[in-house]
Structure formats: C-alpha cells, structure tokens
C-alpha cells in the first residue's frame, strides 16, 4: 500500500465517520429534545455520536494534511493553490470554531447544528466534485446560503416534532 492510498483510505473513513455521525447527531438531538428533557440514555448516545464525529474529523484532517505533504514532496505544489482546497480549509476551520462555541453554549443549538451539518456535507462535496472550479468567495457564498437554508429546514423539522430547546 502506498502512502497516497493509505491517506485516501483514511480520508474516506474519516469522512464516513464524521458526516455519518453529524447526520445521526441531528436525528438524535431531535429525538432527545422532543419532550424537552435529555434522559441519561439519550445523553449517553449523544456523547458516543459526538466522540465518533471528533474521531472522524481528526482522521480527515490528518490525512488531508498528509495529501498536502505528499503534493509538496512530489513537486505538485500547484494543487495546494486550488480554490476548492482553500474553501475546504475555511469550512473545516468554521466547523472547529463552531464545535467549540456549541460546547461553550455561545451559539444557539439550531444555528450551531445548521453550521455543523452543512460544513460536513460541504467538505464532502468539495472533496468529491474535483471537476468543478469556482472562485473562493463564490464557493463560500453558496456555503453561507446553504447554512441559512439548512437552518430554516431544521427549524421546520424541530417545530414539526415539537422540539423544545
Ligand atoms: C471535514 C473534513 C473533510 C472531509 C469530509 C473531506 C472529504 C473529502 C473527500 C470525500 C475527498 C475525495 C476523496 C477521493 O475522491 O478519493 C477528499 C479529497 C481531498 N481532501 Fe478532504 N475532506 C476533509 C478535510 C480535508 C482537509 C482538512 C484537507 C487538507 C488539509 C483535505 C484535503 C483533501 C485533498 C488534498 C483531497 C484530494 C486528494 C487527491 O485525490 O489527491 N481534506 N476530501
């Protein structure tokens, strides 16, 4: 196995764990908050999901920087200047800051959830759709728009299930 395929495998596994856990986090938060009380078992499930999410993020970030290291030693520095990569790094930074703010309860749960969910899927799409090239600020503008849209959809879902935050 080459170092490159090792990084690809870890990057994909990190992505599966992270984006999967981010999805289940939303589902379980809705289920847990339906009655306005987080039971000990629900809290335990949520903690496990957030641990899986953190492991996924760490694995994706380490293997992501592994790619950059390989590009550097293989003289493929050009790839490091791709706008999609910088947009992805920005999204991952926002994901980290948002996680810290959510933990410190400095951001409302609804918008923290919308940022987390949208950031994971934006990072996945930016990794998968290699053919697309767009200016950095255009990618970020779509990202912000997607956060607002996801926030409104989550709000509707929360109202539908009577979630009490
Ligand atoms: C939330 C975290 C992340 C997710 C969900 C994610 C997702 C993905 C996905 C799905 C791919 C496509 C892999 C393939 O087609 O084989 C990819 C590729 C890539 N990612 Fe990430 N990524 C994340 C974080 C990062 C970070 C932090 C970096 C850089 C430091 C990075 C750098 C790259 C690079 C350079 C590629 C292209 C690899 C290649 O084919 O040469 N990623 N990413």
Q: What is the pLDDT of residues 59-116, one digit of tens each?
A: 999 999 999 999 999 999 888 989 999 999 999 999 999 999 999 999 999 999 999 9
- Give the count of domains, the chain: 1
What tokens appear for 53 in the block?
Answer: 């999410």
What tokens appear for 87 in the block?
Answer: 């947009």
Q: Give the torsion through C-alpha atoms of 111, 125, 83, 9, to 10 deg.
A: 120
Rounded distance between C-alpha atoms, residue 19 and residue 41, angstroms: 23
Structural domain including 36 reads 3-161
Please determine, for residue 161, whether its predicted confidence score (pLDDT) is greater than 80. Answer: yes
Q: Ligand 1 — pocket residues by CB below 6 A? A: 8, 11, 15, 18-19, 57, 60-61, 64-65, 67-68, 85, 88-89, 92, 120, 123-124, 127-128
- Write the DSSP symbol of residue 36: S
- Global pTM reads 0.93
User: Ligand 1: which of 123, 128, 143 to mutate, judged by most atoms within 8 Å of the beta carbon?
Assistant: 123
Closest CA relative to residue 109, chosen from 48, 51, 157, 45: 157
């Amino acid at each position: 196995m080459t170092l490159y395929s090792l990084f690809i495998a870890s990057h994909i596994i990190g992505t599966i764990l992270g984006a999967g856990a981010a999805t289940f986090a939303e589902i379980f938060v809705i289920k847990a908050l339906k009655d306005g009380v987080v039971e000990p078992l629900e809290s335990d499930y949520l903690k496990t999901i957030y641990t899986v999410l953190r492991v996924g993020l760490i694995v994706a970030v380490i293997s992501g920087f592994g790619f950059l290291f390989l590009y550097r030693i293989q003289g493929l520095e050009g790839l490091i200047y791709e706008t999609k990569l910088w947009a992805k790094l920005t999204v991952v930074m926002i994901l980290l800051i948002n996680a810290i703010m959510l933990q410190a309860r400095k951001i409302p749960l609804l918008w923290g959830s919308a940022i987390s969910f949208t950031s994971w899927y934006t990072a996945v799409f930016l990794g998968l759709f290699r053919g697309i090239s767009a200016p950095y600020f255009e990618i970020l503008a779509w990202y912000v728009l997607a956060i607002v849209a996801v926030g409104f959809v989550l709000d509707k879902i929360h109202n539908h299930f009577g979630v009490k935050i």
